[in-house]
Amino acid sequence: MIIIFDEFPYAAESDPSLPSHLQAAWDHLFQDKPIILVLAGSHIGMMVDLLGYQAPLYGRFTAQLPLDPLPYAALIDFYPDYTAAERVAVYAVLGGIPGYLKRFKHTQSVGTNIKRNLMRKMGLFRNEPTVLVSELVREPKNYEGVLKAIAKGKHTLSEIALEANLATTHAPTYLKRLIELRLIERRIPATVPPKQRRTSKRSRYHLRDPFLRFYYRFIEPELETIEFGEVDLLWQQMKEQFRAFIGMTTWEELSREWLILQANRGQLPFPVALVGSHWAKDAQVDVVAINWREKAILLGECKWGDHTVGRSVIRELIGKTPLVVPEPDWQVHYAFFARKGFTDAARSEARSVNAILVDLDRLEQDLRQAMLNPLFG
């Protein structure tokens, strides 16, 4: 028998004794019976609390299955008439939430959709983040302060605390909760050795949710201007910043996703243990794949410009190698991701180091194939 209890958190909110009664029933009546009990809920915060260490049902779950947003490749089904670059732009704004994606009309331009849904007084998404955060947490003002700080480019603990007007000793509590809610993530340079990763002080916090990232970066700071109705002028001012924003966030993330796919397929020069990025005072690398046991590393550069990538980009990344590679005796490989592709000179330079070259069309095609044929992805 399979029993599915949908929206369990709301039932538990109406009757706080419900989890304890269910615990007693499971321990004394159902445990040895051929029963599969599924507890489902759309409220992430309440689900996290119900699974917590002090909750009655703690330790009684066989599995936890978070429902992830749709992958980027699914946007082809929503926007078949868009170019790949336009689909990436939409993904940078909305992520993979189906309810959001349905609101953007594929018959209208990306800019028109953004203005209509996020930059009008009656736009459907204008107050969505505030409502979302208020539903998920107590003290929404402080949590929103943290999200806004990260969206502004404050990524270290001290930077976030200062920008959000929080004591440095209090900020970790808010960060931990936002990580539990899957709204932000803590990143460590991929080049930090495995034994040092848990305690590394080089961590940075990033918004994990694309919609919140876009909203707090572009919309929330301009709410007063939007109230005056200067939407078209505001969008013209935003466009170039938005293009750069895509390159620094979504395009890099999709490039890492492509690398993970190729690693799972065994298509990279070495078995990959971790995919991330690298940052330090003297060098930053967009994409890094690494295997410490094999002493192998792949360094990648991502470009979202309007022109094909030239030879200088290839040479610049190669020149960073001594600043990034943990030891001189490591094997080093390279990958380059460019929206518009590569010049002949760049391709020639890449061949000299056996580098991988990936343009947007190839990346989208590979991710799409993996989504449609997961067993081969």
Fold match, 69-248 / 268-376: no
Fold of 69-248: Arc Repressor Mutant, subunit A (1.10.10)
Q: Which residues are within 8 A (CB) of 234 and not within 5 positions of it... i.e. 6 or more apart?
A: 119, 222, 225, 226
Whole-angstrom distance, CA of residue 325 vs CA of residue 332: 8
Q: Does domain 268-376 have CATH number 3.40.1350?
A: yes
Whole-angstrom distance, CA of residue 100 vs CA of residue 176: 26
In sequence order, what are the beta bridge partners of 287? Answer: 300
Which is nearest to 302 in space by CA: 241, 239, 242, 259? 259
What are 33's two structure tokens? 């019976």
Report the pLDDT value the prediction gives residue 376, as an integer from 0 to 100.
53
Tell me whether residue 230 is exposed, middle or buried, using C-beta atoms within 10 angstroms of its C-beta: 0 to 12, 13 to 18, 19 or more. Answer: middle
The per-residue pLDDT string of the chain (377 residues; one tens digit each, 9 = 90 and over) reads 898 989 988 898 899 999 899 889 888 888 778 888 899 988 788 888 887 778 888 888 888 888 899 999 999 999 999 999 999 999 999 999 999 999 999 999 999 999 999 998 777 787 788 888 888 887 889 999 999 999 999 999 999 999 999 999 999 999 999 999 999 999 999 999 999 999 999 999 999 999 999 999 999 999 888 888 889 999 999 999 999 999 999 999 999 999 999 999 999 999 999 999 999 999 999 999 999 999 999 999 999 999 999 999 999 999 999 999 999 999 999 999 999 999 999 999 999 999 999 999 999 999 999 999 875 55
Q: β-strand 356-359 against 331-338: which pairing, if any?
A: parallel
CA 135 from chain centre, in angstroms, equals 21
Report the pLDDT value the prediction gives residue 42, as an integer from 0 to 100.
81
Q: Convert the pLDDT of each residue in 217-274 to its tens digit.
A: 999 999 888 888 889 999 999 999 999 999 999 999 999 999 999 999 999 999 999 9
What are 121's two structure tokens? 């007084």
* This prediction's pTM: 0.91
User: Could you report how far apart the first and last alpha carbons of the chain are, in Å?
Assistant: 33
The amino acid sitting at 77 is D
In sequence order, what are the beta bridge partners of 278? Answer: 285
Spatial contact of 129 and 215, defined as CB atoms under 8 Å apart: yes
What are 22's two structure tokens? 């269910």
Report the pLDDT value the prediction gives residue 375, as an integer from 0 to 100.
59
Whole-angstrom distance, CA of residue 191 vs CA of residue 277: 8
Other beta carbons within 10 angstroms of residue 179's beta carbon come to 14
Give the domain ranges of the chain.
Answer: 2-50, 69-248, 268-376
Spatial contact of 118 and 126, defined as CB atoms under 8 Å apart: yes
- Crossing angle (nearest 10°) for helices 171-180 and 140-151: 80
Q: What is the DSSP letter of 309?
A: B
Report the pLDDT value the prediction gives residue 133, as an integer from 0 to 100.
87
CA 43 from chain centre, in angstroms, equals 19
Report the pLDDT value the prediction gives residue 54, as an integer from 0 to 100.
83
The amino acid sitting at 237 is Q
Tell me whether residue 60 is exposed, middle or buried, using C-beta atoms within 10 angstroms of its C-beta: 0 to 12, 13 to 18, 19 or more. Answer: middle
